[in-house]
Amino acid sequence: MKVKLELFSVYRGVIGDKEIEIEIKSNARIKDVIQLLINKCPSLKKFIKYAIFSINREYADENSRIRKGDTIAIFAPIGGG
């Protein structure tokens, strides 16, 4: 099934695009998307452990299930001081 991936911050820079469409298996989880991205772009591995994910604008963890047509966003934590 196809899903849209929105990339922000360092993830956009490493992948080289702000939005991509990926093909994943049915009943995939965020952790499956993580593995797919690392396989596609191994340099993401050092950044992905800090990533925050959302599915359709709702925070998601790596065990969250993805459905056909979902939009997944990957962004870096925001800090300040």
Q: Which domain holds residue 37?
A: 2-75
Whole-model pTM: value is 0.88
Q: Domain for residue 6, yes or no?
A: yes
Q: Domain for residue 80, yes or no?
A: no
80 confidence band (pLDDT: 50, 70, 90): low
Task: Return d(Cα 49, Cα 70) in angstroms, integer.
Answer: 22
Percent of the chain exceeding pLDDT 90 equals 86
Q: Does 73 have pLDDT greater than 80?
A: yes
Task: Return d(Cα 12, Cα 31) in angstroms, integer.
Answer: 18
Provide the number of structural domains found in the chain. Answer: 1
Q: Domain for residue 70, yes or no?
A: yes
pLDDT of residue 53: 97
CATH of the domain at 35: 3.10.20.30
Q: Which residue has the tokens 């925070």?
A: 59
Q: Domain for residue 46, yes or no?
A: yes
